[in-house]
Amino acid sequence: MAGGISLERLETEIFLTPAEELHFGRTAERIGSRSRRVSQVIKKLERRTGSGLFARNSRTVRLTAIGRRLADDLVTWPLPRRGRRRGRHRPSAVRPL
């Protein structure tokens, strides 16, 4: 992730929700989107970071080591977010990594 990346609010939510749910379909339902859109955003983030954030197959979804690091960094970033879920803070814009 050389050079750092900056995430928008929607990208952050779409990344963090499957990190919690470990399921793209439930993620789509939870954020009011479609599974295809969730997959597109995750793939875009993976291209931008240059690394896989999730290991997935037809039966399972799990965070990679880099995905876990990003998720940990995002949930500890102290900016409040509208509509917080599960007591976690999620930023509207994330500092570069």
Print the domain residue range for 25: 9-76
Write out pLDDT tens, residues 54-96.
Answer: 998 888 899 999 999 999 988 876 555 545 455 444 444 444 5
How many structural domains compose the chain?
1
In a domain, 94, yes or no: no
pLDDT at res. 77: 66
Considering the domain boundaries, does residue 92 fall inside one?
no
Nearest-angstrom CA–CA distance, 84 and 97: 23
Which 8-state DSSP code applies to residue 93? Answer: B
Answer yes or no: is 31 within a domain: yes
Please tell me what DSSP assigns to residue 2.
T
Contacts of 74 (CB under 8 A, 6+ apart): 7, 12, 15, 16, 90, 91, 94
Residue 27 lies in a domain: yes
Give me the residues paired with residue 62 across strands.
55
CATH number for 66: 1.10.10.10
Whether residue 43 lies inside any domain: the answer is: yes
Which tokens belong to 91?
A: 């930023």
